[in-house]
Amino acid sequence: MQLEDSVPSYSVLSRFLTELTEKKAFDSLLSEINCQLEKYGILINKGTKVDASITQSSFHSKKPKTFEIAQDRKEDELSE
């Protein structure tokens, strides 16, 4: 299949999945796919799921931010 080829619609895939399930072929097909993925080192059996979703937070610091401003040297200090 190439990128420019048309792909099956959702309803075609849904009917295919339903028929596989009714004929009790889905589990054996999935098992075969998993065996091949494992054979080629693609299947990951262990790992950690991390949810890195960005969410809104109601936290606001009660302390106002303060910034220290450095003093520049004055012109008469430079002439000495």
pLDDT tens digit string along 1-35? 788 889 999 999 999 999 999 999 999 999 999 99
DSSP code, position 41: T
pTM of the model: 0.43
For the chain, the domains span: 8-45
Question: Tell me: the pLDDT tens digits for 52-64?
Answer: 888 877 776 677 7
Give the model's pLDDT for residue 61. 67
HSE-up (13 A, CA, CB side) for residue 17: 8
Plot region of 20 (φ>0 → left; ψ -120 to 50 → alpha; else → beta): alpha
Q: Which helix (H) or strand (E) holds 20?
A: helix 10-22
- Average pLDDT on 41-48 reads 80
